Amino acid sequence: MNRQNRQELIVSGIHLELTPSLKYFVNEKSDRLFRHEERILRLRVELECDRKEKFGTRFKAKGHVTIHGPALDASVESDECHKAVSLLMDKLDRMLSRRAQMFKVKRHYLHGTELGSPLPKAIYGF
């Protein structure tokens, strides 16, 4: 990983106390994203605990990746916090790999452009 480009990881908790072990777990899981894509500027992970009597405790993990180009956003729900973080990182990794694949396809297979009017005929022989 390129350490010249300092990636920023922001972890926040909503209705949830962030323990050092949970922060460490998010940091370890996010290292995979930073290894796969060096152009990530910032990764923001929001962990939310939703306690409803009907459904029990649900954890929601939201990820926001700031990268050159359009930003990527994803969210995942699960019954365990660590499982939600793992699912979120898997989802963001798939999104980043799909984005990289789309750039490769666009670079290697250029599409023709539609012009509003036909091109003029070339005249040979002056």
- For the entire predicted model, the pTM comes to 0.76
Q: Is residue 115 part of a domain?
A: no
Which range marks the domain in which residue 18 is found?
8-107
Check which CATH number belongs to the domain holding 46 and give it. Answer: 3.30.160.100
DSSP 83: H
DSSP-H helix ranges across the chain: 20-36, 81-108
> Over its length of 126 residues, how does the chain's per-residue pLDDT go in tens digits?
344 556 799 999 999 899 999 999 999 999 999 988 888 999 999 999 988 767 788 899 999 999 988 899 999 999 999 999 999 999 999 999 998 888 776 666 666 666 677 777 777 765
When divided into structural domains, the chain yields a total of 1
Q: Is residue 113 part of a domain?
A: no
